[in-house]
Amino acid sequence: MNGSIIIAAGGTGGHISPGVALAEVLSEKANAFGYESVYIHSLVRNQNNPDLLNPPCQVIWHNIPQLGGLKTIVYPFLFLFPFIKTILLFRKLKINAVIGMGGYSSLPAILYAILFRKPLYLCEQNCVPGKITRVFSKFAKKIAFSFPIVDSFQIPGKIIGNPIRKRVIPEHLNIRQNENLHEGKKNTINVLVLGGSQGARQLNQMILKTMENAEIASKYKFRLLTGTNLYDETKQKANDGTEIISYANDMKPNYEWANLVVARSGAGVVAECLVFGLPMILIPYPFAADNHQKANAEYLEKQGAAVTIHSTSDDPTPLVKFLLSWKDHSEVLREMGHISLALSNVNAAYQTVSYFFSDSN
């Protein structure tokens, strides 16, 4: 055996969820690829992340400081002590391969791989590669992309798809939520609104204002996941026709209920919508690093699986326009859903692991 594998998956849920999906596969298949075991390396502040409450393997917690602000000058000193602890622990656990999921929290594991000449593999979730991928791509043995990266970046790798956790994967992949709409068996179109775990006030307010349109209220039913911090204020403003939920640990029933999704365009949410064959209205978070959400949304819009609203306000006008145009033309949603499904890869986790650790790839 070649020791163990560490998956550096900290930071945001967009890094953690696909890392956990890879850990699910490797916890069962590590021996088949010549390794003894697999670990997840994540930040202490992620201990309450839903994906890490019941992880498929042991999680090693660390507390590497975030780079930025006034700490920049003294950062090397703040970084050094926890990094030395990481090295000693990794040596003890016989870590002989590193998978970096992106974000600053993956830096200790990546530097360990480089310093001790261990195989380094990188996963890039977005169409615009993150700084970790851009800086360390030349040290990586292989890089897996979730989506095609924008043309301005020349980074070698393989487009596979964003790894999906087992508990999110549909049980019946042949079920198409929007077939019944096209056949006229369903009068109501279910709209799932996702602002992320922290919520998005812009999306919440936009939906509430959209529902003031009588034509839309008569045709569309909304389920709004507000985010825990924004639940109370949104609930107070909502009318009786809106289903308000703060957060859902189990997203599968919500995706199965939906015919259409309104969401930010983070790679994780987008990938999950794709495997359920869902059309999307994407409202990119304008302050995302390198504006990567904009690039993700534009890729999906170009393919025909989504439409994009570029806005920083809660003005419902563009959303109302889309919904009214589809009110009597649900075949448009059906076709968008087919394209969405065609862009998905429900087996991305296994294929990524196979790509990394099979010599033939």
Q: Which residues are annotated as a binding site for UDP-N-acetyl-alpha-D-glucosamine?
A: 12-14, 126, 165, 197, 293
Amino acid identity, position 137:
S
198 touches 285 (CB < 8 A): no
Closest to 7 measured CA to CA, from 92, 148, 76, 102: 102
CA dist 84 and 44 (Å) reads 17
Query: Which residues belong to the annotated binding site?
Result: 12-14, 126, 165, 197, 293
CA dist 148 and 348 (Å) reads 14
Contacts of 98 (CB under 8 A, 6+ apart): 5, 6, 8, 109, 110, 112, 113, 118, 119, 120, 121
**Residue 144: strand pairing partners:** 123, 158
CA dist 131 and 312 (Å) reads 25
Helix or strand (DSSP H, E) at 4: strand 4-8
